[in-house]
């Protein structure tokens, strides 16, 4: 059998409209814009409305990715959603997306790995592509965390935001896709970031909120980001010089600065949008990828190193080249085709 690779043929996001600035949080949480900016780099974030549940946001991101790829939901073989705080214990968000987009009877499941959920999902999807089991896979990162912040503490309440991001991977025999990856976990540190569901009776219950030990997470993250990047690059037989962009999980700009120092890489090679969205957990990497593909800063043929950490504890890194070198213009061609269709439709 021919060696199978996976190219990213579509990407999409859903970003809630409601902007919540640091100033909006000052009174309620006895905090200041200055403190939040200095300690985290965050200036504003988006909060989902009542209607924008995790599956609704994931579905909208999925539909946008299908449009970008110019394919139908029935062309998909599998849906994987990285998410950790969903409205239902069951069914999965992936099954709700499968139904909503009309991807009839294909397998669909969630992966819970805290903020590392998207990279766990992406790495898993690539295994199915590389073995030839599936040809087109939708991978989504979606989180609606704001509703769990109401009764929390102020260091948590200022960090998180809501969003969803999706990519579609398609099988190809041209070299590209996942060059290397590493995943890890350490359940011994389960209490460092946790939300206990035993008190779960609905939205905004007292005692039902994310708790974390901020400084422990900070130290762990600063250590693990560089380590995970080095491991994924070693597996890919590449070095940092081969990488065009690094997309880190957007948890705290100081964690990213610390990882940049540890890796000896200028901060300019890191993609950073935490100032506008805060920490959107599993959605943070696909959201950053989407924005920078759309702006043209990241080219589909670039080599991108993505790295994340989160509750579990979990961590992961992937070295990805979205499209084969021969398809340097494919993304633009697809965009032009969609624009052409829209223009033709009047």
The 8-class DSSP code of residue 148 comes to G
Query: Of 288-317, which residues contact ligand UT7 (CB under 6 A)?
Result: 310
Query: Taking the CB of residue 1, how many other CB atoms lie within 10 A of it?
Result: 6
The answer to whether the CB of 118 falls within 8 A of the CB of 285 is yes
**Binding mask of the shown chain, residues 3 to 42, with x at each position contacting ligand UT7 by CB under 6 A:** --------------------------x-x---x---xx--
**Least distance CB 188 / ligand UT7 (angstroms):** 17
- Is 196 noted as a catalytic residue in this protein? no
Q: Is 193 in the site for ligand UT7 (CB under 6 A)?
A: yes
- Is 115 noted as a catalytic residue in this protein? yes
Query: Of 198-257, which residues contact ligand UT7 (CB under 6 A)?
Result: 212, 214-215, 217-218, 251-252
- Annotated active-site residue in 84, 95, 115, 176: 115
**Least distance CB 162 / ligand UT7 (angstroms):** 14
- Annotated active-site residue in 22, 179, 249, 292: 249
CA distance 229 to 309: 11
The answer to whether the CB of 198 falls within 8 A of the CB of 143 is no
The answer to whether the CB of 335 falls within 8 A of the CB of 68 is yes
Of 56, 158, 246, 317, which one interacts with ligand UT7 (CB under 6 A)?
158
CA distance 103 to 264: 44
**Least distance CB 58 / ligand UT7 (angstroms):** 19
Beta carbon nearer to ligand UT7, 95 or 217 = 217
> Three-state DSSP class for 64?
helix
Binding residues for ligand UT7, total number by CB under 6 A: 20
Beta carbon nearer to ligand UT7, 135 or 216 = 216
- Is 229 noted as a catalytic residue in this protein? no
Query: Of 73-132, which residues contact ligand UT7 (CB under 6 A)?
Result: 115
End-to-end CA distance of the chain: 45
Report which of 24, 22, 63 is spatially closest to residue 41, judged by C-alpha positions.
Answer: 22
Give CA angle at 163 (157, 169), nearest 5°.
140
CA distance 208 to 55: 21
Residues taking part in catalysis: 115, 249, 279
For ligand UT7, the binding residues (CB under 6 A) are: 29, 31, 35, 39-40, 115, 154-155, 158-159, 193, 212, 214-215, 217-218, 251-252, 279, 310
């Amino acid at each position: 059998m021919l060696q199978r690779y996976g190219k990213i043929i579509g990407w999409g996001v859903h970003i809630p409209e409601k902007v919540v600035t640091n100033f909006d949080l000052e009174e309620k949480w006895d905090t200041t814009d200055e403190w939040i900016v200095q300690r985290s780099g965050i200036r504003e974030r988006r909060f989902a409305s009542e209607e924008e549940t995790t599956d609704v946001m994931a579905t909208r991101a999925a539909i946008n990715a299908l449009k970008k790829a110019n394919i139908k939901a029935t062309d998909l073989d599998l849906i994987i959603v990285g998410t950790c705080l969903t409205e239902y214990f069951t069914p999965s968000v992936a099954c709700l997306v499968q139904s909503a987009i009309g991807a009839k009877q294909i397998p669909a499941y969630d992966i819970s790995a805290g903020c590392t959920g998207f990279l766990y999902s992406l790495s898993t999807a690539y295994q199915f592509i590389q073995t030839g089991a599936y040809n087109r896979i939708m991978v989504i990162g979606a989180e609606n965390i704001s509703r769990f912040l109401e009764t929390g503490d102020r260091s948590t309440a200022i960090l998180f935001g809501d969003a969803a991001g999706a990519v579609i991977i398609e099988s190809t025999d041209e070299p590209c896709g996942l060059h290397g990856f590493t995943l890890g976990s350490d359940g011994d540190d389960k209490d460092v970031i946790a939300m206990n569901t035993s008190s779960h009776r609905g939205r905004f219950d007292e005692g039902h909120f994310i708790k974390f030990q901020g400084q422990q997470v900070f130290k762990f993250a600063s250590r693990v980001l560089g380590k995970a990047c080095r491991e994924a690059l070693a597996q890919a037989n590449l070095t940092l010089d081969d990488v065009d962009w690094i997309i880190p999980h957007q948890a705290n700009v100081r964690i990213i600065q610390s990882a940049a120092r540890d890796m000896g890489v200028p901060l300019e090679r890191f993609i950073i949008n935490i100032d506008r969205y805060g920490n959107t957990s599993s959605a943070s990497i696909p959201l950053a990828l989407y924005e920078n593909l759309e702006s043209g800063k990241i080219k589909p043929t670039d080599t991108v190193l993505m790295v994340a950490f989160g509750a579990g504890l979990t961590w992961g890194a992937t070295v990805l080249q979205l499209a084969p070198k021969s398809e340097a213009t494919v993304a633009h061609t697809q965009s032009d085709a969609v624009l052409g269709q829209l223009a033709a439709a009047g």
